Chain A
Amino acid sequence: MARLKKFFRYENVGMLFVLPAFLYMLVFVGYPIVHNIILSFQDVNAGNLVKGTRNFILFENYLELFKDSVFTSSLWNTVRFTVSCLVFQFIAGFALALFFSKPFSFAKPVRGILLVPWMIPITVTALMFKLLFATDIGIINFLLRSLHLIEKNIEWLTTPGTAMFALICANVWIGIPFNMILISTGLTTIPKELYESASIDGAGKVQTFWKITLPLLKPTIESVLILGFIYTFKVYDLVYVMTSGGPVNATHMLSTYSYKLSFEMFKYSKGSAVANVLLVILLFVGVLYIKATTEGEDA
């Protein structure tokens, strides 16, 4: 007891404050991660999920995955989806951040309201975009018809290529506010004097942007892109609600395919293996993020 008391004197008392949260996360996140890795090396179906013996089949689940064309297309879809979303939401978010950094009366209130898409439950966003992209009553088909760009309504969500496009549009809509607000904050850290002296030196607007704004924003841009990657790569709700991976598996992402394997086909082990592939990719990028943000900081 006395030794325990001595241990928790001074700095170590901090551990006591962290302990409850740590134990909670250990039980409800740490243990499941380990369990999921074990599951992926076993043969688990609906019969032996909760009770019963499970056989270890080692890497068989993973080997099977790489022969599974739906898995490889899900992996490719996730990459394609993530990269497209990142490009569009970053450019749009950056442009909006630059625009709202101008000191006009409506700048702050309007920028504030633009954050709303980010806060809305993704299930609702998915529903709203399903409505916009609906075949008969969809406003997007109506606009394209009015502009005489199409003659017949496009079946956006039931055609492979266009379904992916609709998903990307919905996700970019969620991502724009996130990119905009982080870049806006980054812009405020650039000292005003730099712009003033640049204009005295006769630098044009374009030159100032490339020579001052971009280089000084580099840390912000890095974290926006990496966080955006992590958040987009694990997309689940949006795809599940809008297309459920269809038509004919054309829009499955790693997350939705993992869900389908586990909770619709009851191939729990294979589903866990897909989830672990997703996890490894995210952790790899996550390490990059941590390295980029904690450099020189006492975190």
Chain B
Amino acid sequence: MGEEKRLSKKKNILFSIIAVVLLCILLFPLYWALITSLKTEQEIFRNPPTFYPHILNTKSYAAQVETGDFNMFRSFANSFLISMGATLIAVLLAVPASYGIAKYHFRARKALLLSFLVTQMLPVSVLLTPMFIMFKNMHVYNTWVAAVLADATIGIPFSVLILKNYFASIPKDLEEAAYLDGCNKFSAFVRILIPIAKPGVMVCAIFSFLYAWGDLAYGMTFILDQEKRPITAGIFNFMGQYGTKWSYLTAFAVVTIIPVALIFIFMQKYIVSGMTSGAVKG
């Protein structure tokens, strides 16, 4: 890679300023939600609106824990449990599957790959009613298990398609060297290939988590009791009940974004690679 052509100093500063302005415009909705959550209800209704909280109000957050009016930390924990469960299933199943597809040329391989590709395009509407019946019959309806089982179906196909490329890029020699050292196909997979494909596994885990964290349809349809529902369904419910209590609503939104923000800050490089490898959001 050659050195990229440098811009003149003046242009560099000008472009950087434009970039920051664009950033402020595009991320304004997030800023607005954050400061609304820190305003008093009175200030929210002030005209003209205030662009930062004149009186800092953290009550919207505290009230959620104290009064138990609506416990958002409970729904947060539910969401976390559901997302972790779905991620675990997706990764455990997708890692071997993608290895099998990448490294072995068996007969049904192409058809399998295609079927994973197609499941990524499915609308939730097609699955909701049949899953609803199935979960009732399995006696997992209205438990977190139903949401975990459903959310994993978003992560699996995505993960298989992403990881397939990682495994395919590992040279065959490496595997053959492992066989010479006395590994069989399974131990070579576990000891040699999985560690090399680790960045890919991270991408899959992160996206499976994000898909499950953002899910509303499954959590809302398969879990009935508010205290078992994920945080997204909690927000929706809360909107219906306290339609105009914007300080509470935005506090709820901010708490929901926290894990997403943490993932973004600490694992940004995986996000770009996941998005560009043909990601369809579920």
Interface centre among B7, B105, B128, by most chain A C-beta atoms within 10 angstroms, is B128
At the interface, yes or no: A223 with Cβ under 8 Å from chain B? yes
Give the chain B neighbours of A290 by CB distance below 8 A: 114, 117
Among B185, B252, B261, the residue within 8 A (CB) of A13 is B185
In the complex, which residues 21-72 of chain B have their Cβ closer than 8 Å to any Cβ of chain A? 22-23, 26-27, 29-30, 32-33, 36, 44-45, 47-49
CB atoms of A176 and B32 under 8 A apart: no
At the interface, yes or no: B174 with Cβ under 8 Å from chain A? no
A299 to B93, CA, bound (A): 20
Task: Say how far B198's CB is from chain A's closest CB, in angstroms.
Answer: 18
Task: Say how far B84's CB is from chain A's closest CB, in angstroms.
Answer: 16
CB atoms of B128 and A262 under 8 A apart: yes
Task: Say how far B236's CB is from chain A's closest CB, in angstroms.
Answer: 6
Evaluate whether A136 and B45 lie within 8 angstroms (CB atoms) in the complex, with A127-B33, A272-B129 already known. yes
A116 to B257, CA, bound (A): 10
Give the chain B neighbours of A241 by CB distance below 8 A: 216, 235-236, 239
The size of the chain B interface, using a CB distance under 8 A, is: 104
A77 to B281, CA, bound (A): 21
Task: Say how far A250's CB is from chain B's closest CB, in angstroms.
Answer: 19
At the interface, yes or no: B180 with Cβ under 8 Å from chain A? no
Interface centre among A14, A182, A192, by most chain B C-beta atoms within 10 angstroms, is A14
A88 to B52, CA, bound (A): 30
Give the chain A neighbours of B239 by CB distance below 8 A: 127, 130, 241
At the interface, yes or no: A103 with Cβ under 8 Å from chain B? yes
Give the chain A neighbours of B89 by CB distance below 8 A: 24
Dominant SS at the B interface? Answer: helix
CB atoms of A117 and B26 under 8 A apart: yes
A123 to B12, CA, bound (A): 38
Dominant SS at the A interface? Answer: helix
At the interface, yes or no: B77 with Cβ under 8 Å from chain A? no
Evaluate whether A11 and B121 lie within 8 angstroms (CB atoms) in the complex, with A18-B112, A28-B153, A106-B16 already known. no
Among A33, A136, A137, A263, the residue within 8 A (CB) of B122 is A33
At the interface, yes or no: B4 with Cβ under 8 Å from chain A? yes
CB atoms of A15 and B136 under 8 A apart: no
At the interface, yes or no: A286 with Cβ under 8 Å from chain B? yes
Give the chain A neighbours of B268 by CB distance below 8 A: 112
Give the chain A neighbours of B97 by CB distance below 8 A: 17-18, 20-22
Give the chain B neighbours of A105 by CB distance below 8 A: 12, 16
Among B2, B29, B116, the residue within 8 A (CB) of A128 is B29
CB atoms of A106 and B260 under 8 A apart: no
Evaluate whether A114 and B26 lie within 8 angstroms (CB atoms) in the complex, with A21-B156, A32-B126, A120-B260 already known. yes
Known: A28-B152, A136-B45, A178-B281. 10 other contacts (CB 8 A): A32-B130, A33-B130, A116-B30, A116-B260, A121-B213, A122-B216, A124-B33, A185-B276, A241-B235, A282-B121
A residues whose Cβ falls under 8 Å from a Cβ of B: 11-18, 20-22, 24-25, 28-29, 31-33, 35-36, 39, 49-50, 96, 99-100, 102-107, 110, 112-125, 127-132, 134, 136-137, 139, 142, 146, 173, 176-178, 181-182, 185, 192, 223, 227, 230-231, 233-234, 236-237, 240-241, 254-255, 258-259, 262-263, 268, 271-272, 274-276, 278-279, 282-283, 286, 289-290, 293, 299
B residues whose Cβ falls under 8 Å from a Cβ of A: 2, 4-7, 11-12, 15-16, 18-20, 22-23, 26-27, 29-30, 32-33, 36, 44-45, 47-49, 89, 93-94, 96-97, 99-101, 103-110, 112-119, 121-134, 136-137, 149-150, 152-153, 156-157, 160, 185, 189, 210, 213-214, 216-217, 221, 232, 235-236, 239, 246, 249-250, 252-253, 256-257, 260-261, 263-264, 268, 271-272, 275-276, 278, 280-281
A-B contacts, 23 of them at CB < 8 A, read A11-B105, A12-B107, A18-B97, A24-B152, A29-B127, A49-B129, A103-B4, A103-B6, A110-B19, A115-B271, A116-B260, A119-B264, A123-B216, A139-B32, A185-B276, A231-B280, A236-B216, A241-B239, A254-B125, A272-B126, A274-B125, A289-B121, A299-B113
